[in-house]
Every structure is written in structure tokens, then in C-alpha cells.
Structure 1
Amino acid sequence: MQVRNRRTAAWSLEVAPWSARKASGFVLGRLHEWGYREADTAAAGLTELLVRTAVADGGRRVSVHLADQKRQALIVALSHQPGLAVADDAVLTELAELGAVSCGTDTADDGRRVWAVLDL
């Protein structure tokens, strides 16, 4: 996945029960710096679900990536646990219910990615 020509931020977190809440704080803080405050509840919920899903993969760390473009935010959680199958589709339904206008999951050499796009 390549994200170009837009603002981005990334954080690396340990795999722990509190990582989802911590990631949510980082994402909301950066969105506020970028001038977005209207979608706090949806952004927090999406981030927490994305990170909980990545944490469940059992790797040693999780990374969270954020980008914005045209009043939309892309939030990605990467499990850094290579060799996994694509995540269960149930997470996609949950992401849509939390406000994602688009979402998906895929795998790569560096682990499984779960992502969501949110209108801001």
C-alpha cells in the first residue's frame, strides 16, 4: 500500500490490551492538528476496532497509519505478523456500521492490513 501526496502520520505500538485506546488518542490528536473535529466518535471507534483486529493476530507490534485527503481520513492498522490469511469479513461489516465509507483487509510480506476510510 502506497500513500502519496497527502499528509500522513504513523505510530508503532506494542501488542497489548491498551494499544487500541492509545492508538485512538494518537489518531484523534493528529486529526485535531489537521483541523478535523467533526468525526471524533467515528474516528475513535474505527481506530480501536482496526487496532484490536491487528492485535488479535498475535504479532509483537502493531503500526497505525493515518492519511487525509479531500476531507476523508484513511486509517490503517498493520499486524506485522506475516503469513496470515485475509481477516474474517465480519470486521468489514463492523467497520461499515461505525461509519467507514470504504474498508478492507489484505495481506502482504509485512503482515495483515485492515483499513477504513472515513468522511470528515
Structure 2
Amino acid sequence: MSVRNRRAANRTIPADKWAPSKAVRLVTEAVRSWGYSYPQDETLAEAVELLVAGVLGDGGKRISVHLADQDDRLLILALSHQPDPAPASATDKMLTGLAAIAGTASCGTDAAADGRRVWVLMDTSPRMRAASAAR
């Protein structure tokens, strides 16, 4: 996966019980510094916590969180740095949870040499704005 010619942020963090809160803080600070007010903090936190929980389940010693934006959408990705991914049933549950979050345009997972990647693509426009534009 390659992310080029757009704003991006990333951080590698220890795979410990504080990883979700560290990842939420990184993502929220970056998204707000880029001028986005949507998704709301709670929505970002829910998505990031699901992503991080998914890759923590792979059992690595560290994870990384990557963020990029393009065309009023945010790509949030978590990487496990562990080559043996979690069972498919855990992945299915996580993807179902991500897909149910308001503003999710797409989500998915794949395995690479450097571990499992789990990602979500989120809209940065509130749903009401899209309805207002249709009038």
C-alpha cells in the first residue's frame, strides 16, 4: 500500500493496554489540525479503537497507526507488525463494527509481509450537509 501526495500522519506504538488511547489521540489531533470537524471525536474514537483492537489481537509487540486524507475522506489504517493474523471470525466481527459506524465509506483488511493491515475510509462531511446539497 502506498500513500503519496497528500497529508499523512503515522506513529508506531507499543502493543499494550494504552495503545487504543494513544492511537485515538494521534488520529484526533491530526484530523483536527487538518481542519476537519467531522467525524466527531466519539466517532473517530470508536473507529480507531476497533482498528487497534483488531491488530492487537495478532499478538505483536508493536503496532502502527497511519492516517491520510484525500477528497474529503480520511484513511485510518492500523498495522499489526505480526505476520500471523487473527482468526477470520474476529476479523469479520471487527469489519462489521467498522461498517456500522456513521460516516464509514469503506473498510477492509489484508495481510502483508509486515503484518495485517486493517483500515477504514471515513467521510469528513456530516450527513446533513449531503442532504442539504441535494435540495
2:105 aligned with 1:104? no
CA deviation profile, 1:2-47 (whole Å, cap 9, x unmatched): 1111110101110111111110011000111100122122211111
> Gaps spanning 5+ residues in structure 1: where?
none
Distance in 1 of aligned mates of 2:74 and 2:12? 19
Which residue of structure 2 aligns with residue 55 of structure 1? 56
On the 8 A contact 2:58/2:84 being kept in 1, the answer is: no
The code of the aligned residue for 2:76 comes to I
Which residue of structure 2 aligns with residue 118 of structure 1? 122
Mean Cα displacement is larger for which, 106-115 or 82-91? Answer: 82-91
Residues matched between the structures, number: 120
Runs of 4+ in 1 over 6 A off after TM superposition: none
TM-score by length of 2: 0.84
CA-atom RMSD, angstroms?
1.3
Which residue of structure 1 aligns with residue 7 of structure 2? 7
Which residue of structure 2 aligns with residue 80 of structure 1? 81
More helix by share: 2
The structure that has the greater radius of gyration is 2
